[in-house]
Structure 1
């Protein structure tokens, strides 16, 4: 019962947040609602026991992509403009795309929806529980064993490439403005301590 309540809660939160991403006129609010969509979707993945995918959603989408979008929007200083265009203008095209998407879903999961539509279900199929025959490992543990044993060299190379890319982006975006006093560490370290203190005559 608790799992079902959490499922409905995260599902409603995901759908409402996704709608607010489009409906919000403030781009910063749209990015924040997008972050809420990713977090609630991670909750759904946790309910499905897909811990690794939930962690990837939090680390990659929320911690990197959504925060990057937020920084870009805040740095561009986008003005909040109240548009007079209603959403009914895009309703026909959006409704057509939504119907196509729902039709594809019906084609994929038709065997599960046939009993709900009142049609006689297909002959029952006997399922064998393979879960009891394998080791009880979580998805994160299984992926971690493979990643840090068979592919550890590639993992280190990917980390170094990302580090070089981050340093390159920082160096390319740095610029010096005229008239701004900056700290020169080399001059401070190489300074002679005998000349650091000087006696001056304060008499007028």
Structure 2
């Protein structure tokens, strides 16, 4: 009874927060509602017995992705009023695309059929002595190892593409040359000087830079002209 009540509470908060993500006018509020939705989804995973997925959802999505979204939204100076100016003009196109996507989802779900043994496998008890996380690892690294490696390859290509797109070779930037740093000698970088006590910089051959001249202030002299009688 308590588990069912908790499920409905977390599910209701999840649906409400997800609706607020797309309906909130302030983007910062949208990200905060997204974090709330992630927490409630993690609670649902805990109720389902998938504690590993719950922790991954909190650590990865809340701790990294959502916080990154929040910082980006808060740091970027975006004029949202200017972005909303063309909303009415593109509303029919967006509504048409939404209806098409909804129809496609209805067609897919209408023709969906479960495997004959899917219901029994869903509620099958897990093996004794094997943790939920261990079972998930065995499933990923045995039956779905090729798909797992393919997803890692896609992420690697995306990371390399992001680096290539943002890399800029500037001629004014100073680059570190490891070979020159290792091959330099002490005589190239150090100079021993015999400095007598009280010697100034001019005697040592060190020319102190002259201070910049102060800008001259134009003097405005107001002289009174007195007319003299002749």
User: After superposition, what is the alpha-carbon deviation per residue over 1:128-187, rounded to whole angstroms, capped at 9, x for unaligned?
Assistant: xx746x6245553323113224554654454344234313312321225675x5452534
TM-score, with structure 1 as normaliser: 0.55
Distance change >3 Å, CA 74–CA 173, structure 1 → 2:
farther
For the 8 Å contact 1:50–1:139, the answer to whether it is kept is yes
Structure 2: state its 5+ residue gaps.
86-90, 111-119, 203-230
The structure 1 residue matched to 2:159, chosen from 141, 161, 166, is 166
Aligned mates of 2:144, 2:171 — CA distance in 1: 48
For the 8 Å contact 1:35–1:62, the answer to whether it is kept is yes
Structure 1: state its 5+ residue gaps.
85-89, 109-126
Corresponding residue for residue 29 of structure 1: 29
Aligned mates of 1:41, 1:51 — CA distance in 2: 11
**How many angstroms does 1:55 deviate by?**
4.9
> What secondary structure sits across from 2:191 in the alignment?
coil
Aligned mates of 1:19, 1:171 — CA distance in 2: 37
Distance change >3 Å, CA 193–CA 150, structure 1 → 2:
farther
The structure 2 residue matched to 1:198, chosen from 178, 191, 194, is 191
Distance change >3 Å, CA 182–CA 138, structure 1 → 2:
same
Aligned mates of 2:9, 2:65 — CA distance in 1: 25
For the 8 Å contact 1:25–1:80, the answer to whether it is kept is no
Aligned mates of 1:32, 1:131 — CA distance in 2: 37
Aligned mates of 1:74, 1:157 — CA distance in 2: 35
> What secondary structure sits across from 1:143 in the alignment?
helix
Corresponding residue for residue 42 of structure 2: 42
Name the larger-Rg structure: 2
Report 1 or 2 for greater relative contact order, CA contacts < 8 Å, sequence distance ≥ 6. Answer: 1
User: After superposition, what is the alpha-carbon deviation per residue over 1:3-23, rounded to whole angstroms, capped at 9, x for unaligned?
Assistant: 355435423432332233133
Aligned mates of 1:194, 1:161 — CA distance in 2: 51
Aligned mates of 2:155, 2:127 — CA distance in 1: 34
Corresponding residue for residue 184 of structure 1: 176
**How many angstroms does 1:47 deviate by?**
0.7
